[in-house]
Amino acid sequence: MTRTVITEHPVPADSGSGTGPYGITTGPDGALWFTMARAGCIGRLVPGQEPTIHRLDPECGPTVIVSGPDGALWFTEYQGHRIGRITVDGEVTEFATPTAQAGPYGLTAGPDGALWFTEINADRIGRITTSGEITEYPLPLRGAFPSMIVTGSDGALWFTLNQANAIGRMAIDGTVTVHELPTEAAGPVGLTAGTDDALWFVEIMAGQIGRITTEGRITEYPLPDRAAKPHAIAAGADGRQWFTEWGTGRVGSITSDGVIEVHDLPGANTEPHGITIGPDGAVWAALESGALARVEVKR
């Protein structure tokens, strides 16, 4: 018998509901680190303890956060048009993008010791070294809205093209390949490097989970609720990929052969966005309603 245990850990947000956690990752210090996009904060939570909140420019819009190759956490400032770095002690450094109003959003530790990010407004992929040097690579499409980005098992950068309805691949020399999705107007957003050497992504408009091999073969799996608006996805330690359903307040999982399970989060209007595997091996989701949700499935 399967039993799902979901525990919410409230995060203080002095600007009201909807200003809670957005992006989330596990840091090198064994803590959960998260962004609060509408509150302009970076948070840190050790499971079982009270969260620590680091305040930034309240209008900067921190979105995606990842562990960098230098032992610090790196994050994008979508509205501040900067890439940020925060040490585990809370020291913040920010680097402006060369292109004005670029709208950096997705971020990943690359295969070359640098970090790579998407520029939603500029149709570019950026690369930033740990010392803050930025290079930008233009995409061959306009209005593509590049969103999430990850490093694939082939050593390339993979990213979703939300408005171009495609998945992109960029080699570290800047060469780009674009793979169009079978479903029209699917709206790909979240993306992760799967446990099976493929890339898994969510289609927020189509209500589907997609899988693309490094050779470009795409498979799509419809969700039980096509109006669920899946947002983020992460590879789990159990061989499943875990995702958030922003539209319905659920967390779900999908196996490598397409078996889907969904789990209701407690409460209404939770707005789950980011998702990660925590330092305790459980699944953690960021809820903009003002909490981190720990999801443990006992089989």
The tokens for 180 are 């169009």
> pLDDT digit string (tens) for 237-275?
888 999 999 999 999 999 999 999 999 999 888 999 999
Structure confidence by residue, pLDDT tens digits, 8-32: 999 986 555 678 999 999 999 999 9
CA–CA separation, 243 vs 22, rounded Å? 14
DSSP string over 115-168: EEEEETTTTEEEEE-TT--EEEEE-SSSS--EEEEEE-TTSSEEEEETTTTEEE
Does residue 26 contact residue 45 with C-beta atoms inside 8 Å? no
Task: Please enumerate in sequence order all residues whose Cβ is within 8 A of that of 280, keeping only pairs 6 or more positions apart, or say none.
Answer: 47, 294
Q: Which residue bears the tokens 């979240």?
A: 190
Catalytic residues: 273
For the chain, how long is the longest CA-to-CA vector?
Answer: 54
Task: Go through the chain and tell me how many residues it has.
Answer: 299
Q: Residues 90-117: pLDDT tens digits?
A: 999 999 999 999 999 999 999 999 999 9
| pLDDT above 90 as % of the chain | 92
pLDDT digits (tens, 9 = 90+) for 132-166: 999 999 999 999 999 999 999 999 999 999 999 99
- Segment 61-72 shows an average pLDDT of 98
Residue 230 buriedness (CB in 10 A; 0-12 / 13-18 / 19+): buried
Contact 294, 45 (CB under 8 A): no
Whole-number Å distance between alpha carbons of 124 and 207: 26
Spatial distance between the Cα atoms of 113 and 68, rounded to a whole number of angstroms: 9
Q: What is the pLDDT of residue 18?
A: 72
